[in-house]
Amino acid sequence: MPNLANLADLAHVHLLVNHFPTIGTILGLGLLLMSLVRKSDHIKKVGFEVIFLIALLTLPVYVSGQAAAEALKGQPGVAAAAIVAHNDAALGSFIMMEITGFFAWLALWRMRRIGRPTNGLTYTVLVLSVLTVAAVARASNIGGDIRHPEIEGGQYSGLFGVGAPSAPFLSAAAIKDFVLQHPFVWPTCETLHFIGMSLMFGVLMIVNLRLVGFLRGMSFASVHRLLPFGLMGFGINFITGMFFFIAASEQYTQNVAFHYKMILLELAGINYLVLTVYDEAWSLPASADAPLSGKLLGASALVLSVGVMYFGRMLPFIGNAF
Amino acid sequence: MLASLDQSAFSQWLLGSNSIWAYPTVLTLHTFGMMVLVGAALMIDLRLLGFGRAIPLGSMRRLFGVMWGAFWLNLVTGTMLFIADATKRATQPLFIVKLALVALGVVTIVMIKRSLFDGPAEPVVIDGPARRLAIISLLVWCAAVTSGRLLAYVG
């Protein structure tokens, strides 16, 4: 299979997308605040959607950052300590971002079910996104210290001091050591990854076969109830997948199967968001056929999720992962 | 017998061929079948445990056909994978455990179908024994996936 991108391309991708989490979370937070001032549920929904989409986009930001680090390795004028510090800060902020994105999704799901946003989830997402903005801004700032000669030395010493800040809250190197030094961790994560996949696909299969028209007799609203289980399966796979990626990133950054898997995963994530908030499907009675847009949505969700599984399973065969 | 399977032309092709259509594709189809079979089983179990109560039980009946399709796909691809590595697998205790767990999983699904889906139409009462059966089914399928996945790591 021809390569999609080399390390330099991926480093470029990182530069193209790495400001989205900071700016996007600020935008989402701004929309949530505006929705409170204007008392508009519609703006609130848009705010949750923006935060969910930014959480989704943060995945390629993080994994392309790993490729950028590999591309920069050993080059002159690069502060190696700043790369490590940036990676650790990025990992922490990435986790914060995903937790915030999860609650934004939960708020959207609840909102779709009961017809209005709940205060508890709104304020949870609000507080989490403030913390996320702080975490991603700090990560970006340390990232800026890696190689920007125009601000190096002299009067500028970095917002968080020169080079590495004090002991990181979360260390990617420590996670890597944990996975590689304990022989049980990798197989355990693989097992959980397959169980999470089955759970996720079970939900996707029911919801989308219904939309396509194969499982008539269930209303869409009744299968909508299962969506959190799909996200639970995704959560298991996200965590275990990150263990693989952090422990052996060089197997994935240049693996074309991994690139395709990430692209399909992003599209599947957008698809899941549409499924969650989709009005035409929500009002679909048990025996009725979905409109064409619904059928296309369901069919694309099935193709995308099988595609994600295909490229995941093919990581060692098309690419070089074990 | 097992050794002759290992040495068979089929086994040589499946393992020795560099083609993406040999071992990688058979393994991927096996994974696909697992995901469909276990995914559908977990959904039925969750429904019996009270999640998605608004889904009419009868409308889930079609999933049994889906599960049988996935089961046969995996029986075929699983047999192919077994032939490729017959001596090792036949003497591997974990492999026997996996087969037993899959058989047990199928039994739980058949029992669920007999007790709740083959009787009169709605409303079906999901009583204590049905719920216990759902919990057992859920655990057995997770254990079956675990034992299958660990085959790649345990000697």
Cβ-based contacts under 8 A for chains A and B:
107
Same domain, A15 and A162: yes
Same domain, A147 and A180: no
- Is the Cβ–Cβ distance between B23 and B84 less than 8 Å? yes
Same domain, A221 and A241: yes
Q: Which of A107, A141, A170 is the last residue of a domain?
A: A170
Interface check B149 vs A, CB under 8 A: yes
Same domain, A165 and A175: no
- Report the pLDDT value the prediction gives residue A152, as an integer from 0 to 100: 58
A79, A153, A157, A263 from A161: Cα distances, Å? 14, 11, 6, 37
- Report the pLDDT value the prediction gives residue A154, as an integer from 0 to 100: 47
Nearest to B150 among A187, A198, A217 (CB): A187
Helices (H), chain A: 7-17, 20-38, 41-72, 80-114, 119-144, 172-181, 185-212, 220-224, 227-247, 250-253, 256-277, 279-282, 292-313
Average pLDDT over residues B25-29: 95
Mean pLDDT of chain B: 91
Going by the DSSP 8-state scheme, the letter that residue A4 receives in this structure is S
Q: Do B40 and A205 touch (CB under 8 A)?
A: yes
Interface check A314 vs B, CB under 8 A: yes
**Gap between the Cα atoms of B103 and B98, Å rounded:** 9
Q: Do A205 and B142 touch (CB under 8 A)?
A: no
Nearest to A313 among B27, B58, B154 (CB): B27
Same domain, A111 and A221: no
Q: Give SS3 for A163.
A: coil
- Report the pLDDT value the prediction gives residue A158, as an integer from 0 to 100: 55
The count of structural domains within chain A is 2
Q: Do B35 and A201 touch (CB under 8 A)?
A: yes
Closest approach of B5 to chain A, Cα-based (Å) = 24
User: Which tops the pLDDT comparison, A219 or B37?
Assistant: B37
Q: Which of A109, A141, A170 is the last residue of a domain?
A: A170
- Report the pLDDT value the prediction gives residue A287, as an integer from 0 to 100: 84
pTM of the model: 0.93
Note which residues in 197-216 of chain A have CB less than 8 A from chain B.
Answer: 197-206, 214-216
Question: Angle at Cα A217 formed by Cα A213 and Cα A221, nearest 5°?
Answer: 85
| Nearest by Cα to B109 from B82, B136, B87 | B136
Q: Do A195 and B55 touch (CB under 8 A)?
A: no
Give me A96's structure tokens.
């914060």
Q: pLDDT tens digit string along A190-207?
A: 999 999 999 999 999 999
Same domain, A143 and A213: no
Nearest to B153 among A187, A206, A286 (CB): A187
Q: Which of A118, A153, A170 is the last residue of a domain?
A: A170
User: Which tops the pLDDT comparison, A151 or B151?
Assistant: B151
- Is the Cβ–Cβ distance between A238 and A98 less than 8 Å? yes
Give me B137's structure tokens.
């089914």
Q: Do A202 and B42 touch (CB under 8 A)?
A: yes
Nearest residue of B to residue A199 by CA position? Answer: B39
Closest approach of A99 to chain B, Cα-based (Å) = 24
- Is the Cβ–Cβ distance between A42 and A108 less than 8 Å? no
- Is the Cβ–Cβ distance between A161 and B111 less than 8 Å? no
Same domain, A182 and A246: yes
Q: pLDDT tens digit string along B94-139?
A: 999 999 999 999 999 999 999 888 877 666 778 888 999 999 999 9
Tens-binned pLDDT, residue by residue, of chain A (322 aa): 778 888 888 989 999 999 999 999 999 999 999 999 999 999 999 999 999 999 999 999 999 999 999 988 878 777 778 888 899 999 999 999 999 999 999 999 999 999 999 999 999 999 999 999 999 999 988 888 787 666 655 455 555 555 445 566 788 999 999 999 999 999 999 999 999 999 999 999 999 999 998 888 899 999 999 999 999 999 999 999 999 999 999 899 989 999 999 999 999 999 999 999 988 778 888 888 888 999 999 999 999 999 999 999 999 888 776 6
User: Which tops the pLDDT comparison, A148 or B90?
Assistant: B90
Same domain, A175 and A259: yes
Same domain, A49 and A96: yes
* Cβ contacts of B39 within 8 Å, gap of 6 or more: A198, A199, A200, A201, A202, A203, A204, A205
Q: Give SS3 for A210.
A: helix
Stretch (H or E) spanning B41:
helix B23-48
Closest approach of B69 to chain A, Cα-based (Å) = 14
- Report the pLDDT value the prediction gives residue B38, as an integer from 0 to 100: 98
A51, A97, B138 from A28: Cα distances, Å? 5, 12, 39
Interface check A139 vs B, CB under 8 A: no
| Selected residue of B38, B59, B122 to mutate for chain A interface (largest A Cβ count, 10 A) | B59
Range of the domain at A134: 1-170
- Is the Cβ–Cβ distance between A280 and A294 less than 8 Å? yes
Same domain, A137 and A191: no
Average pLDDT over residues B134-145: 97
Same domain, A159 and A214: no
**Gap between the Cα atoms of A236 and A219, Å rounded:** 28
HSE (side-chain half, CA atoms, 13 Å) at A292? 0
Same domain, A117 and A16: yes
- Report the pLDDT value the prediction gives residue A6, as an integer from 0 to 100: 87
As a residue count, chain A comes to: 322
